[in-house]
Amino acid sequence: MIGIIVTGHGNFATGITSALETIMGKQEQYINVDFPREDTATELKKNIAKAIDKLKSCDNIIVFADLLSGSPFNTAIMKAMEDERIKVIYGVNLGMLVEAVMNRNKGIDFNEIVKNAVETGKSQVGLFDARNIAKSEPKNDNEL
């Protein structure tokens, strides 16, 4: 089984996990680790270590961090350098997290899950501009 840890500043991990569970239900081998303002980097390190320990039966672990170079990311990469089972993805968004969980639940290969999650994350960022949509709509029924 592939374990998943989601971490981020404040209650980011709890929030994105709530959204994920609304869509997909409660997940096994999935742990969220918040980094509230009042916690220190030492507490974050302990909390991530506890999460990894809870997933010790997993063959691999994906850590999703909110952003590059933040304390949650930095703590996770230090663990990844000690444990080759761990890969860290930063800049997590809900689309990539859903994709990763779905692929994991289907039994997709670990490296493929990581690759697909990053690709999905990138494709989930864009701009909707209603002005461009309005220009392409027919002006009257005769243009249909």
**Owning domain of residue 17:** 2-143
Average pLDDT for residues 80-107, to the nearest whole number? 97
Burial of 45 (0-12, 13-18, 19+ CB in 10 A): middle
What pLDDT score was predicted for residue 114? 97
What pLDDT score was predicted for residue 135? 60
Total domains present in the chain: 1
Average pLDDT for residues 110-120, to the nearest whole number? 97
**Mean pLDDT rounded to a whole number for the chain:** 94
Q: DSSP string of 36-105?
A: -TT--HHHHHHHHHHHHHHTTT-SEEEEEESSTTSHHHHHHHHHHHH-TTEEEEES--HHHHHHHHHHHH
Residue 134: pLDDT band with limits 50, 70, 90 = low
- Look up the CATH number of the domain holding residue 44: 3.40.50.510
What pLDDT score was predicted for residue 141? 57
pLDDT tens-digit profile of 39-72? Answer: 999 999 999 999 999 999 999 999 999 999 999 9
